[in-house]
Amino acid sequence: MLKSRKHVFWEAMVMTIAIFLVGLFLGMMIEQSNSNKISSFLIESEISLADGNAFSEIIKNQNFSCDIIKNMNIEFADKVYEEAKLLEQFDGSEKLTDNLKSLHKKYDLLRTLLWTSNQESLERCKNYNLIIYLYEYETEELDKKAQQNVWSKIISDLHNNEESVLLIPIAADSELSSLNLLLSEYDIKSYPVVIINNKNVLYEIESEESLKKYLD
């Protein structure tokens, strides 16, 4: 009757370890696959950014239409924005590895470059609005998280409803020296914060309507 007594504990342990290892392996595979997906997007975006920069250099002293510049920049920014949204989604399901964290940082760098590359175009053309949304990625404060959640929605609505808005959300706590240098010019006290057209720094957003008055 008790023939199984001696072995069942080890057998159960072996089964548990086996299913656990399979589960962890599958989990890591899924996370790796997500990471690979984002990585391939990132490579494309990096190429697009480099292409955009080369384009800017070429047209610098020529009379190219500002509309072309605007459309190219907004199109590229929107692409990066959509990829970032996907990254955010994958971010929440990443439990076993830290692959996406470094990708997040890479995207922040890409978006910082996009911000800098737009300084001159905006100055020259003035035919679109540049919204930089700076938030804290690593914060554990519930109030801040909730505030950032709602701000994202307001800014996203504005971006969807207005035609000429170039939106660049950047995690301010990415520890990127280039970003830190850029931010030091604005003397920012706390996050989240919104910078519109490189001149208006907003620590409070009441609604989408309240943002519109800062747009050109």
Partner 1 sequence: MEFLTYLYLFYTFVAFYFLFIYILVYFQNRKQIYEVVKPNKIYSLSIVVPCYNEAGTIGKNIEAILASNYGGLKKLIVVDDCSTDNSFEIIKGYAKKDKRVMAVQTPKNTGRAAGAKNFGAKFVKTELIGFSDADSYPEKDAISKMIGFFNDKKMGAVTSRVLVSNKKNKLAKIQAIEYKIIAFTRKLLGFLESIYVTNGPLSIYRKSAFDDVGGFDINNLTEDIEITWHFVSKGWKVEMAIPSVAFTNVPTNIKSWFKQRVRWNIGGLQTISKYKSKFFQCGMLGLFIMPFFIMSWFLGITGLFFLVYRLGRYLIGKILVAKYSVASQVALVRYEDLSLNPSILFFFGLVLFALGFTYTIIAMAYSRENNFKHRVHDIFIYSIFYLLAYPPLLIISFYKFMKGENKW
Point out which residues bind partner 1 (CB under 8 A). Answer: 1-5, 8-9, 11-13, 15-16, 19-20, 23-24, 26-28, 30-31, 34, 85, 89-90, 92-96, 142-143, 145-147, 149-150, 153-154, 157, 205-208
Q: Tell me the C-alpha distance between 132 and 153, whole Å.
A: 14
- Which of residues 27 and 188 has its CB atom nearest to partner 1 in the complex? 27
Looking at the Cβ atoms of 24 and 47, the one nearer to partner 1 is 24
CB 92 within 8 A of CB 137: no
Nearest to partner 1 of 2, 163 (CB atom): 2
Rounded Cα distance, 109 and 112, in Å: 5
CB of 117 to partner 1, least distance (A): 28
The separation between CA 4 and the C-alpha centre of its own chain, rounded to angstroms, equals: 56
What is the nearest approach in angstroms of partner 1 to the Cβ of residue 203? 14
CB of 56 to partner 1, least distance (A): 32
Buried b (16+ CB within 10 A) or exposed e, 127-164: ebbbbbbbbbbebeeeeeeebbeebbebbbebbeebee
152: amino acid identity, one letter? S
Q: Which residues, other chains included, contact 17 with Cβ-Cβ below 8 Å and sequence gap of 6+?
A: none
Shortest spacing between CB 107 and partner 1, in angstroms? 17
For the CB of residue 200, give the shortest distance to partner 1 in the complex, in Å: 18
Identify whether the C-beta of residue 91 lies closer than 8 Å to the C-beta of residue 104: yes
Closer to partner 1 by Cβ: residue 23 or 47: 23
Nearer to partner 1 (CB atom), residue 16 or residue 180:
16
